[in-house]
Homo-oligomer: A and B are copies of this chain.
């Protein structure tokens, strides 16, 4: 409410003197400083960060643009971001895109206008138009969770290809040969990489890829539900399903239950990113868990490094491994 002028008047000094007290800069007689500090306290003065940012060309604010905060993977990632940002005095603006490039573009335009110092982006597409926009406006960006085609973009992500490979190898080891994968139809690297890992595991085992067993829909429960309904209509049915993410797996499970099928007796089910272990009364899904918190944290630290000019010119690609957790949802195929 009150401005630096009010404080100056109250303390009987110039605004510059107040500014010096606030910023602890230059020389000030201790009596003067005391008077100013008293005036600040009396008025409950807080400096206007807008005005400071206008001068400094720094807002101490970054943006986190992700697809859906309701996915616990992104929730945990977001928490990693906020903790790392807060530790260095940065605030976080967050936006959901729901995988829509249009929404992504709209959000980013606003973020550029708001002069965020940098952007953490879970790109809605591998060739997100967001990247050139940010570059044109000199806003540093780090891609999270997903690669983009532009090789000059810093990226922090989990190892989707390797995780998918492990998961499918696990199924093959149990004796499965008709393994389906449910993935996203969007052009995102987590989708393509997971299918790539799936293919590698199959090919290594000498199993031919059946294109009908690769279903592309949404990274959502509805997507997993629809894809699974299609799969269950096949003859013979797959004996195992790899859900490309947690939501897909939840939808797949529901579709199987509604079809009267038991997991894993009739069909196994594995996935990426189940729920946090501590939430689960009866851990069930075999999964590869990615270090979501660390991804958010390390991406933030990388971004803040860039803002300070640290970290060198070359783009960095940090790939964090996942962890295979075998649980009850995967078993040998039915006889």
Which residues of A approach B to under 8 Å, CB–CB? Answer: 1, 44, 46-51, 53-54, 59, 61, 68-70, 72, 75-76, 78-79, 82-83, 86, 91-96, 109-115, 133, 136-138, 221, 246, 250-251, 253-254, 263, 275-276, 278-279, 281-282, 284-285, 329
Interface-centre pick from A50, A93, A110 (highest chain B CB count, 10 A): A50
Q: In the bound complex, do residue B92 and residue A93 qualify as a contact, i.e. CB atoms below 8 Å apart?
A: yes
Q: In the bound complex, do residue B49 and residue A115 qualify as a contact, i.e. CB atoms below 8 Å apart?
A: yes
Q: In the bound complex, do residue A61 and residue B278 qualify as a contact, i.e. CB atoms below 8 Å apart?
A: no
Oligomeric state, in copies: 2
Q: What residues on B are CB-neighbors of A53 within 8 Å?
A: 50
Q: What residues on B are CB-neighbors of A285 within 8 Å?
A: 281
| A-B contact sample (17 more), CB < 8 A, given A50-B50, A50-B53, A82-B95 | A1-B138, A46-B112, A46-B137, A49-B110, A49-B113, A51-B54, A61-B114, A69-B75, A70-B75, A70-B276, A72-B72, A82-B94, A91-B111, A250-B278, A263-B281, A275-B279, A281-B329
Q: In the bound complex, do residue A113 and residue B48 qualify as a contact, i.e. CB atoms below 8 Å apart?
A: yes
Q: In the bound complex, do residue B79 and residue A96 qualify as a contact, i.e. CB atoms below 8 Å apart?
A: yes
CA distance A1 to B136 in the complex (A): 8
